[in-house]
Structure formats: C-alpha cells, structure tokens
Amino acid sequence: MPSLFSLLGVARDGMQAQSAGVSVTGQNISNVNTPGYVRRGVVLSARAFGQDSTGGVSVLGIARSFNRFAHGRVVEEHGRRGAAAARAEALTATEAALSPNSRTVADRVNAMFQAFDTLSGAPGDAAARLEVLQQSGNLAQQVSSTAGDLATQRDELFTQARGVAGEVNTRLARIATLNRAIAEATALGDAGADLRDQRDLLVQEVGDRLGARSIEDATGQVTLFSAGTVLVEGSNASSVTVSLDPANNLRLTVAQPGGATTDATAGMTQGTLGGLREARDVDIVAAQTSLDQFAFDLATAVNTAHAAGFGLDAVSGRNLFAAPAAVAGAARAMALDPAVVGQPDRVAAAAAATDLPGGNDVALRLAGLASRPLGAGTTSPAERFGTIAADLGVRLQSALAEEQLRDDTVQQAETLRESAAGVSLDEEMVNLSKFQRAFEASTRVLRVADELLDTLMKSF
C-alpha cells in the first residue's frame, strides 16, 4: 500500500504535469500566428496505483498534432498554385505588351491601310505619300518593339527563374541540415517538434517554387522528391540550376551530392518554376511565332504589291518594308526599306510609268490588302493580329481561372491541415483553465497530505 508520504509525490506529479500543460498551452498561444507551427499537446500518463507505485501522473512527452496526409496535400496544392500564379502573372505582362490600352499593332495596321486608301484618292499628293511612309514606319516600329518586349520578357523570366532556383537551393540545404538535427534529436528521445515545424514549412516553400513530395522515415528525416528526382535524402541535398538550352528554352539540371547531374527539365511542371517555364517557353513562344509569321506575311504582301508599282520617279521594283530573310525573327527585324526612308516620291501608287502621277492602281491594291486574307491564312491583317492577341487572352484567361481554382484547393487543403495542426485560441483558453484548475487541485492534495501528516505527528 502506498504510504501517506507518497501522497506528497502524487501532488508533486500533478503540479508538474499541470505546469507542463500550462507551458504547452502558453507555447501554443504564443505561436498562434507562427507560420508552420503545429500545435502541441502534453502527453500525460497515469501512474499505476499499486504495490510498487504511488499513483499520480507522469509527463510522457509533447506531441505535435501533425497530419502528414494533410500536409502532403498542402504541399502538392501549393505546387500547383505556384505554377498557375507564376504563369498568370507572366502572361498578364505579356498581354500588356501585346495589347496595350492604345496604339496596338492592329491600330497601326489600320492606320497604314488608311494611308494607302488616302493615297489611292490622291496618288500624286506629297502629304499622302509622307503619310504612307509615316504610318508604315510606325507599324514596323510597333511590331518590332512588341517583338522586343516579348524577347525582353523571356529574358526577365529566365532571370526570375534563376532567382527562384537559388531560393530552392537555400531551402534544400536547410532541409538537409534540419533532417540531420531531427535525426539526432530523435536518437536522444526528443521529438524535435520545433525542428520539424521549420523543416515542414521549408518543404512547403520548395513545393511553392518547384512542387514537392516528401516521405518521412523512422528517424524523422524526410526524402524530398521534386521535378521527378530526389532533391534531399537524409542530410544530403542536391542543388538545382536553371540555364538555357540551345533552343533558348529553360533547362533544369539537378546536381546530386556525389557530383552527378541530371536533366530534370521534363519534370519542371509545378511551382513557380513550372509556371515560368510554361509561360516563357510555351505561351510567349507561341505569341512570338505568330507575330513573326504575321510580320513576315504582312511585309511580303505589302512588298509584293508595292514592288509592282511605280514611284513618282518612274522607278519600279522597290520594297516598302525591308524584305524579311526568314519567318523567325521577322517581327523584330521589321523596318521600312532603306531605299524608301525619307523618300515619299518612291512610294509606288501607279501600275505603269505612263499613269504617273495620278495612277492609283497599286495604291488601291495596297489598300485592298486590308480586307484580304494575309499569307496562307484566312483572315485580314488586323484580324490576324486580333487572333494572336485573343489566343494569348485565352491562355491568360485559362491561367487566371487555374490560379483561382488552385487558390480554392490550397484553401481546402490548408483547412484540412489547420483543422488538425492549427491553434484554436478558444480551445487553448479552455485548456489553460483546465490545467490551472488541475494545478490548484494538486496543491490542495498537497495541503491535505500536509494536514494529514501534521495530524499524524501531533497524535504522538
């Protein structure tokens, strides 16, 4: 049978256990807004009340309310949202470059054809000829600068991707370091809750940037998979590098701790890097290709019509635009032909030298291009550009819808995780009262034990 003295031990255990409860509750309250913090709970166990034990309570440890499945979903959804958000942000800038609020390429196309139309009504008029050169030059400059903006944006996205890769590497190294610390703590019997909080937050941050999936082993260390390869295994971290391949597309290489490198470009589909890659190497490239084809077809069509005509100097065979060498790069290189720059008399309006200066057949043909299918397509020049802008609009619309969807799925996943791991202040306030009351009761037990002993002492 336990002795009366053992009651003192029971009271002591109770006070210690409730103190631990108050401490953990306090920690929970103070970390209510700490990112990645997982609420703790003190694990109490009753001591058996028997021959060899005085009963009471013991603190077995502190448990994290961590739901690995919910955390995995959060990381996964963050990866998807990261991709959608990065793509949407990049394409918003692309849309602004392709379709500014005023003076779009389509507006310039219209202005050029208006100038041709005016020329057809006044083929000998110097002002009408100057207007043709002015508007054609404006169009060429606008197409070229739009192509330049797209190229610059691709460069900027590459720089951004490299920055993100640097952020990923920093986090991979810290995850590896924390893995080691967690394994050491686990070996010493410590749960390493704070270390795990930090590490799991880092895993989520890697997920944001590149997408991630992690598996925890018995020692508490996680193996981190991303971009189709292992990025962290135990205390070893790989490093990722973003570079450009010969086709000027993003390439992701992973350098393993042993020195081997792998090309993980195909796996770069999630996170900010996945979104940047999609926007840079798929969406913007599509816009560039279409713009190049547009510039090539437009310059070729105008040149063909123009070269058939005669300038006021009775010379034929001149181009209005510098002849594009190839489709690729045609938009960036678009410019007025040097032979006509500043030479309004060289603008061709008449179909024959004998029709000068009032002949307008060629001017009519040039103006007529405005409503004829451009190149091998089926739409007029302005419509063709409208289609290019609309195609990008569809892509941006889809990216924005995806981003909104992913916001919702991230919210759902975080709700699921938060439901298990989050701190509820109401709950903690109740816990605080609970432990406080229990502590008070334990002190009461102590007082009773003390009084009993006192009574016992005085009876002798």
Partner 1 sequence: MRITDKMALDAARQGQSRAVRQFTEASRVASSGLRVNAPSDDPVAWSMKVRQEAQLERMDNRTRTLSRAGSDLNAAESVLASAGDLLEEARALAVQAANGSIDAQTRLNMSGLVTALRDSLIGLANTRGSNGYLFGGTATAAAPFNAAGVFTANDTPVALEVADGVTTRANASGATAFTVAGGRDLMADLEAFATALSTNNLVGIQGAIGTMEAGHRQLVTAQVTTGIAAERLHSSVEVTSGAMLTITTARANAIEADALEAFTSLSLTRAGYERSIAITRELLQVSSVTR
Give the nearest distance from C-beta 167 to partner 1 in angstroms.
24
Q: Is 422 in the site for partner 1 (CB under 8 A)?
A: yes
Distance CA 450, CA 133 (A): 107
CB 435 within 8 A of CB 15: no
Q: Which of 367, 374, 445, 449 binds partner 1 (CB under 8 A)?
A: 367
| Residue 334, φ and ψ in degrees, nearest 5 | -65, 130
Q: Is 389 in the site for partner 1 (CB under 8 A)?
A: yes
CB 10 within 8 A of CB 18: no
CB 208 within 8 A of CB 82: yes
Q: Is 391 in the site for partner 1 (CB under 8 A)?
A: yes
Give the nearest distance from C-beta 458 to partner 1 in angstroms.
46
Contacts of 225 (CB under 8 A, 6+ apart): 212, 213, 214, 215, 231
3-class secondary structure, 171: helix
Size of the site for partner 1 (CB under 8 A): 69
Q: Which of 44, 59, 111, 339 binds partner 1 (CB under 8 A)?
A: 111
Q: Is 359 in the site for partner 1 (CB under 8 A)?
A: yes
- Cβ-based nearer residue to partner 1, 167 or 391: 391
Give the contact letters, 114-133, x = binds to partner 1 (CB under 8 A), - = no: x--xx-xxxxxx--------
Nearest residue to 222 via CA among 211, 205, 208, 237: 237
Question: Interface residues for partner 1 in 79-98 (CB under 8 A)?
Answer: 91-92, 95-96, 98
Ramachandran area for residue 241 (φ above 0: left; ψ -120 to 50: alpha; else beta):
beta
Q: Is 241 in the site for partner 1 (CB under 8 A)?
A: no
| DSSP 8-state secondary structure symbol assigned to residue 323 | P
Contacts of 121 (CB under 8 A, 6+ apart): 128, 360
| DSSP 8-state secondary structure symbol assigned to residue 36 | T
In the block, tokens 């890659």 appear at: 277
Q: Is 430 in the site for partner 1 (CB under 8 A)?
A: yes
Which residues are bridge partners to 180 per DSSP?
A: none
Give the nearest distance from C-beta 213 to partner 1 in angstroms.
24
| Residue 44, φ and ψ in degrees, nearest 5 | -105, 150
Give the nearest distance from C-beta 257 to partner 1 in angstroms.
37
Q: Which of 4, 32, 60, 405 binds partner 1 (CB under 8 A)?
A: 32
- Cβ-based nearer residue to partner 1, 111 or 255: 111
Q: Is 215 in the site for partner 1 (CB under 8 A)?
A: no
Contacting positions for partner 1 (CB under 8 A): 32-33, 91-92, 95-96, 98-99, 101, 106-107, 109-111, 113-114, 117-118, 120-125, 350, 354-361, 364, 367-368, 370-371, 380-383, 385-387, 389-394, 396-397, 400, 407, 411, 414-415, 418-420, 422-427, 429-430
